[in-house]
Structure 1
Amino acid sequence: MEAFLSFFELMPVWQKLLWISLVLFFFWILEGYYALIKFRYNKWKHARTNFILLGFVMLINLVFGFLTAGIFIWIDQSGFGLLNLVELPVWVELILAIMVLDLIAQYLVHFLLHRIKWLWRLHLIHHTDTHVDATTGTRHHPLDFMVRESFALIAIIITGMPVAFYLFYRILSVFFTYFTHANISMPTKVDKTLSYIFVTPNMHKFHHHYQLPWTDSNYGNMLSIWDRMFGTFIYDDTSKIRYGIDIVEDTTSNDIAYQLRIPFNRKIRTKN
């Protein structure tokens, strides 16, 4: 187990970038053969917008990387955090760390991004995509992503987890991000069965429906248990889904300049 975790701790940047590229490419290809919705769109033009936003995200991730490294050094020196108060098997601590990260850095922050007005304005850009596919997982406003990363730091401090746990979680998170957004058709029975524990492609697609109440549901990233536990889980007929958001014109979906200005555009009237 120690050797397994050391691999992620010592994983060079190029391998992390390769993992992101391979996972995205895999689902990009897969959705071409097993599409949930047969889109009529320019796949490359659509991806360009989301890849530009991914570029911003990666720059922010670089900055937060230094801050995160400082926090891990402090935790190592101070012994701060819940996991440092008890002696548990490494695999148990790893599972607990992943669960806390998924709860705080994914479910909780996502819930707040929908419920607090100024945060919702930052998050809107993720919902303005009218052709949800694997690249939509990269579609975040830079300020939205900074909020998300801040919550990840909170989860790290609370648990006092070692850096290897966090890096393993990030690898898993990349997979689930592209998996759940991918425009892939899974057998309903398989998707629904998996959704009892994990977030699945069909389950997450309801979150991208253009209107309430589905928009405010299925906030999880990896584990669906939080949505089930807190009453935000929805599962219905995917043929009813229409992508986009009802307060932003669909025609602006690929206009990168317009999208980046959305949080500051007072002509867009939010629900809060």
Structure 2
Amino acid sequence: MEAFLNFFETMPIWMKAGWVFFVLAIFWILEGYYSLVILNYKKWKHAKVNLILLLFVMVINALFGIVTVGVFNWLSDSKFGLLHQFVAPVWVELILSILVLDLIAQYGVHYLLHKVPAMWRLHLVHHSDKNVDATTGTRHHPFDFIIRETFALIAVILMGMPIAFYLFYRILSVAFTYFTHANIKMPLALDKGLSWIIVTPNMHKFHHHFELPWTDCNYGNMFSIWDRLFGTFVYGDPSKIVYGVDIADHTNDESLAVQLGIPFNRTVHSKK
């Protein structure tokens, strides 16, 4: 286990970036053979905005990486955090850390992005995509992503976790992000069955439905247990899903300038 975690701790930046593009490419290809719905769009043109937003995300992630190193050095010296309050096997600490990260840095912040008006206007960029596919997982306004990274650091500090735990979670999170957004079709029974524990493609697609109440359900990224526990889980008829968001359907979802300006666009009326 120590060697396994050490691999993630010493993982070079090029390998981390390579993982992002590798997983994205895998689901990009699978979409062409096992599509959930036939999307009437130009795949590469649609991907352009999402991939440019991905570059912004990667730059922000690199900047946060500098801050993160300082945080982990402080945690190591101060012994601050819940993991320093008891003794448990490494694998137990790892599972607890992943659960807390998923709860705070994914479900918790995602819930707030929908419920706090100013945050929702940032998050609209993600929901304004009218053709959800694997690249939609990269579609975040830069300010939206900064908020997400801040919450991730809060989870790290609360747990006092080693950097290897955090990096391992990030690797898993990337895989789930592209898996759940990908336009792939799984056997309905399998998708429903897995959704008792993890977030599945169908489950997350309800979240991308253009109107309430589905838009405000299924906030999870990796584990569906949070949605079930807090009453935000939904699983209906996938054929009834319509992508986009009703209050921003008049905007151009394939224009980078329009998308970056949505939070400040007075013609976009918040639902809040």
TM-score (norm: length of structure 1): 0.99
- For the pair 1:223 / 2:223, whether they are aligned, the reply is yes
Give the percent of matched residue pairs that are identical in Structure 1 and Structure 2.
Answer: 66
Determine the structure 2 residue equivalent to 1:255: 255
Paired residues of 1:130 and 1:250 also in contact (CA < 8 A) = no
Paired residues of 2:251 and 2:258 also in contact (CA < 8 A) = no
After superposition, the Cα gap between the structure-2 partners of 1:144 and 1:40, relative to the gap in structure 1 and judged at 3 Å, is same
Q: Could you tell me how far apart the structure 2 residues matched to 1:60 and 1:251 are? A: 26
Determine the structure 2 residue equivalent to 1:123: 123
Paired residues of 2:184 and 2:201 also in contact (CA < 8 A) = yes
Q: Higher mean Cα deviation, 251-260 or 4-13?
A: 251-260
Q: Could you tell me how far apart the structure 2 residues matched to 1:66 and 1:264 are? A: 29
Determine the structure 1 residue equivalent to 2:77: 77
| 2:124 partner amino acid | L
Q: Could you tell me how far apart the structure 2 residues matched to 1:40 and 1:213 are? A: 25
- For the pair 1:199 / 2:199, whether they are aligned, the reply is yes
Following TM superposition, by how much is the alpha carbon of 1:105 offset from its aligned partner in structure 2, in angstroms?
Answer: 0.0
Following TM superposition, by how much is the alpha carbon of 1:250 offset from its aligned partner in structure 2, in angstroms?
Answer: 5.0
Determine the structure 1 residue equivalent to 2:134: 134
Q: Could you tell me how far apart the structure 1 residues matched to 2:103 and 2:251 are? A: 34
Q: Could you tell me how far apart the structure 1 residues matched to 2:23 and 2:237 are? A: 27
Paired residues of 2:106 and 2:221 also in contact (CA < 8 A) = yes
Paired residues of 1:128 and 1:250 also in contact (CA < 8 A) = no
Please, what is the CA RMSD of the aligned residues?
0.7
Q: Could you tell me how far apart the structure 2 residues matched to 1:253 and 1:122 are? A: 14
Paired residues of 1:128 and 1:248 also in contact (CA < 8 A) = yes
- For the pair 1:233 / 2:233, whether they are aligned, the reply is yes
Runs of 4+ in 1 over 4 A off after TM superposition: none
Following TM superposition, by how much is the alpha carbon of 1:21 offset from its aligned partner in structure 2, in angstroms?
Answer: 1.1
Query: Mind listing any 5+ residue stretches in structure 2 that lack a counterpart?
Result: none
Q: Could you tell me how far apart the structure 2 residues matched to 1:266 and 1:146 are? A: 23
Q: Higher mean Cα deviation, 13-22 or 215-224?
A: 13-22
Determine the structure 2 residue equivalent to 1:35: 35
Determine the structure 2 residue equivalent to 1:174: 174
- Per-residue displacement from partner, 1:64-107 (whole Å, max 9, x unpaired)? 11111110000001000000111000000000000000000000
Paired residues of 1:244 and 1:250 also in contact (CA < 8 A) = no
> SS of the counterpart of 1:87?
coil
| 2:240 partner amino acid | K
Q: Could you tell me how far apart the structure 2 residues matched to 1:161 and 1:249 are? A: 42
1:137-148 matches, within 5 Å, as 137-148=137-148
Q: Could you tell me how far apart the structure 2 residues matched to 1:26 and 1:250 are? A: 32
Q: Could you tell me how far apart the structure 1 residues matched to 2:49 and 2:108 are? A: 27
Determine the structure 1 residue equivalent to 2:54: 54
Q: Higher mean Cα deviation, 232-241 or 16-25?
A: 16-25
- Per-residue displacement from partner, 1:118-154 (whole Å, max 9, x unpaired)? 0000100000000000000000000000000000000
Following TM superposition, by how much is the alpha carbon of 1:249 offset from its aligned partner in structure 2, in angstroms?
Answer: 2.6
Q: Could you tell me how far apart the structure 1 residues matched to 2:115 and 2:7 are? A: 38
| 2:212 partner amino acid | L
> SS of the counterpart of 2:21?
helix
> SS of the counterpart of 2:67?
helix
Determine the structure 2 residue equivalent to 1:265: 265
- Per-residue displacement from partner, 1:193-229 (whole Å, max 9, x unpaired)? 0000000000000000000000000000000000000
> SS of the counterpart of 2:148?
helix
| 1:111 partner amino acid | Y
Q: Could you tell me how far apart the structure 1 residues matched to 2:14 and 2:226 are? A: 33
Following TM superposition, by how much is the alpha carbon of 1:251 offset from its aligned partner in structure 2, in angstroms?
Answer: 5.2
Q: Could you tell me how far apart the structure 2 residues matched to 1:97 and 1:156 are? A: 8
> SS of the counterpart of 2:170?
helix
Q: Could you tell me how far apart the structure 1 residues matched to 2:236 and 2:247 are? A: 23
Q: Could you tell me how far apart the structure 2 residues matched to 1:17 and 1:121 are? A: 28
